[in-house]
């Protein structure tokens, strides 16, 4: 089984700037405006447990080889590309809602993560990224401080 490549670094924030082209602005008005390549944003969920941050991305139709994940201690960047599969370019489309082309999402993390405890699984069109939290030792227990309120 091939693993998803995860890169670690600190330059994720510089890629977070977002500019919209003329075509992207009108895409929400009419998806038929153009079939050219454009950025799309897959649906994602982030939830947190006591020990982990979990990111789930709905990216059906994207092959594992077209997914890239970059992780820093502050953010995660998930990029990829869903290739267009229109079988007949001469066909007249009556509805075209499925988006194709490259995507990029930068997600800022609510907690510092342990870079040693990062894993990703891609199955049935869903990417799940599990980030272990960097657990800070409890100061009170570390120094065996006892408090007496008598």
| Length of the chain (residues) | 150
Q: Is the pTM of this model over 0.75?
A: no
Domain boundaries, given as residue ranges, for the chain:
6-87+95-142
> Is residue 118 a contact partner of residue 129, using CB atoms and an 8 Å limit?
yes
What is the pLDDT confidence band of residue 2, given thresholds at 50, 70 and 90? low
6-87+95-142 under CATH 2.30.40.10, yes or no? no
What strands, in cross-sheet order, belong to the sheet with 113-123? 44-48, 52-58, 126-133, 113-123
Q: pLDDT per residue over 12-67, tens digit each? A: 655 454 445 544 444 444 444 444 445 789 999 999 999 999 999 999 999 999 99
Is pLDDT above 70 for 84? yes
Q: pLDDT per residue over 94-133, tens digit each? A: 888 888 899 999 999 999 999 999 999 999 999 999 999 9
Q: How far is residue 2's CA from residue 56's CA, in Å, rounded to a whole number?
A: 19
């Amino acid at each position: 089984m091939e693993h998803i490549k995860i890169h670690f670094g600190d330059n994720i924030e510089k890629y977070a700037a977002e500019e919209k082209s003329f075509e992207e602005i009108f895409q929400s008005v009419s998806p038929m405006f153009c079939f050219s390549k454009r950025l799309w944003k897959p649906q994602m969920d982030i939830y947190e447990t006591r020990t982990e941050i979990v990111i789930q991305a709905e990216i059906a139709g994207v092959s594992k080889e077209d997914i890239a994940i970059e992780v820093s201690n502050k953010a995660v960047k998930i990029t990829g590309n869903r290739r267009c599969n229109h079988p007949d370019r001469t066909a007249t489309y009556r509805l075209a809602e499925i988006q194709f082309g490259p995507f990029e999402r930068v997600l800022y993390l609510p907690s510092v993560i342990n870079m040693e405890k990062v894993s990703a699984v891609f199955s049935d069109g869903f990417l799940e990224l599990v980030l272990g939290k960097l657990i800070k030792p409890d100061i009170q227990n570390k120094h065996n401080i006892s408090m007496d309120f008598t």
